Amino acid sequence: MSDIKYAKNGDVEIAYEVFGNPATGKPLLLIMGLDMQMVWWPTALIEQAVDRGYCVVRFDNRDAGLSTKFDSQRKENAFKALLGGSKPQYTGLDMVNDGIAVMDAIGWESANVLGASMGAALAQGMAVQYPDRVRSLISVSGLPADSSKLAMMKYLKYGWYPKMAKVGNPTDRDSEIEVMSKIMKLMANGGDEAPEGWVRETAGTSYDRSPRDPNSTQRQLAAGNAWKVPPINTIQVPTLIVAGEVDPMIKTSAATATANKIPNSRLVMYPKMGHLLSPELVPAFLDEVDTVTS
């Protein structure tokens, strides 16, 4: 495990870790999804990427893990935040700039950027906003970042949310582990999933680093609504779009739409992939990543 370092974006501190040699490795920046700490990136992905010659950097988004936290006056419904009813305390552009701050702290002029779920939207936003900083874009389990609210809603699967409501809220370390194990199974949706041992260990690590604030979800969702991403059809870098055919949260039409919008992008769908990238998929996935990175 590497040492935790911190980058500064104004008054916000972003915790990050470096795996491999940043001076000689092929730069790969990982952007995590909604309300998830950076430790949820599969260990197999990081280790195998480093073995292939990458320098991998992962970081906690603001309001997650060891990065700067914000406060909410009250808890609000996630759907309200998704539809723009929750007051934003920061924007999606602020979150994109957090990733740029991490690159600056490392000394990278540019990087290959891989984002998953909400991180996919942030990665697309980074490629639009800072085209000179992004060598290639890998968008996993995401929506077209420039979608209107109405368009975004049509890409979502709503059967996921009642199931999530039944999972419960953790109150201590043990219940955090149980809840995250259930969530990961739901995200796999009967497809390939992360090993139970790794999930439970990572859930414990996540709790020990920083117990989750139940209101951070609404704040990060509100941030996405607070920034209109410019059209992603301006992205010119090599782009890989990855989706799971059994994703319980997002329809495959979202990946198809993203690929249709970004010129010369490559679309890969895995039949047994849910909303997460399982260790079984890592070798094949990295083979695809190798085709677009530099």
Residue 79 has pLDDT above 60, yes or no: no
- Report the pLDDT value the prediction gives residue 275, as an integer from 0 to 100: 96
Q: For the chain, what is the mean pLDDT?
A: 93
Residue 83 has pLDDT above 70, yes or no: no
Looking at per-residue confidence, does 135 or 222 come out higher? 135
**Rounded to an integer, what distance in angstroms lies between the CA atom of residue 109 and that of residue 39?**
25
**Rounded to an integer, what distance in angstroms lies between the CA atom of residue 290 and that of residue 270?**
17
Q: What is the pLDDT of residues 201-233, one digit of tens each?
A: 999 999 999 998 878 888 998 898 889 999 999
Extract long-range pairs of 203-209: CB within 8 Å, 24+ residues apart.
Answer: 203/176, 203/177, 203/179, 204/173, 204/176, 204/177, 205/39, 206/37, 206/39, 206/40, 206/65, 206/176, 206/180, 207/170, 207/173, 207/176, 207/177, 208/173, 209/37, 209/39, 209/65, 209/66
Q: What percent of the chain has pLDDT over 90?
A: 77
Q: How would you list the strands of the sheet with 12-19, edge to edge?
A: 5-9, 12-19, 54-59, 26-31, 111-116, 134-140, 239-244, 266-270
**Closest alpha carbon to 58 in 49, 75, 46:** 46
**Rounded to an integer, what distance in angstroms lies between the CA atom of residue 127 and that of residue 64?**
23
Residue 108 has pLDDT above 80, yes or no: yes
Q: What is the pLDDT of residues 22-51, one digit of tens each?
A: 999 999 999 999 999 999 999 999 999 999
Give the range among 44-58, 153-167, 268-282 with minimum mean pLDDT: 153-167
Residue 77 has pLDDT above 70, yes or no: no
- Report the pLDDT value the prediction gives residue 20, as an integer from 0 to 100: 97
Residue 170 has pLDDT above 90, yes or no: no
pLDDT, average across residues 12-23 = 97
pLDDT, average across residues 90-117 = 98
- Report the pLDDT value the prediction gives residue 289, as an integer from 0 to 100: 98
Domains and CATH numbers, the chain: 5-292 (3.40.50.1820)
- Report the pLDDT value the prediction gives residue 250, as an integer from 0 to 100: 96
- pTM, 2 dp: 0.95
Q: What percent of the chain has pLDDT over 70?
A: 95
Residue 3 CA neighbour count, 13 Å, CB half:
2
Q: Where does residue 239 rank: exposed (0-12), middle (13-18), buried (19+ CB within 10 A)?
A: buried
**Inter-CA distances, 283 with 5, 85, 199, Å:** 28, 41, 19
- Report the pLDDT value the prediction gives residue 85, as an integer from 0 to 100: 59
